[in-house]
Every structure is written in C-alpha cells, then in structure tokens.
C-alpha cells in the first residue's frame, strides 16, 4: 500500500494552527489529515484519524486540501467523532 500512496502525489505538510488538549492537531479551513502510507485523505476527526493518533501520532500529517493529489476522501469522515 505504501507504493500506492506514493503514486498519489507528494505530501506537503503544513503546521497546525490549533491543538486539542491532548496536543492532537485541529484542522483549520482548507486543511485535511493524511498518512504517509494511506490512499485516503480525512476532512474530519473520524475513527480512522483517532486510531492513527492513538497508535502512531507522528504518522498523522496535516496538508492543504488543494494538495491531496489523487487521494480519495475517507467515507468515515462523513460521521466525524466529537471531541
């Protein structure tokens, strides 16, 4: 899957402008979450993003939404978790 993720376009990280109490990054307008090995982007704090944060927080990356490349939107983000 990692090779597939690389073929979807470069990952250009942006710095979070806000953090939650647990230091997890909050999205600003125009930002989404991705992972280095994933083929999806996440427009909300969904179960996938929460699991990644709990198990590999350094692997959760913020990027500008207009740089997602050919990544697909996560369907779990349609029902985001509340924090």
pLDDT digits (tens, 9 = 90+) for 33-79: 999 999 999 999 999 999 999 999 999 999 999 999 999 999 999 88
Domain residue ranges of the chain, discontinuous segments joined by +:
2-78
pLDDT at position 3 over 80: no
d(CA 51, CA 76): 12
Whether the predicted model's global pTM rises above the 0.85 cut: yes
Task: Using pLDDT thresholds of 50, 70 and 90, give the confidence band for residue 2.
Answer: low
CB atoms within 10 A of CB 15: 8
For residues 43 and 32, is the Cβ–Cβ distance under 8 A? yes
**Structure confidence by residue, pLDDT tens digits, 9-26:** 999 999 999 999 999 999
Asked whether the beta carbons of 60 and 52 are under 8 A apart, the reply is: yes
């Amino acid at each position: 899957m990692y090779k597939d993720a690389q073929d979807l376009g470069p990952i250009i990280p942006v710095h979070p402008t806000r953090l939650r109490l647990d230091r997890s990054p909050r999205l600003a307008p125009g930002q989404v979450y991705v992972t280095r090995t994933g083929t999806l982007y996440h427009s909300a704090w969904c179960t996938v993003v929460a699991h990644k944060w709990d198990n590999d927080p350094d692997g959760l990356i913020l990027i500008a939404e207009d740089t997602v490349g050919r990544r697909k939107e996560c369907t779990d983000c349609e029902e985001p978790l509340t924090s």
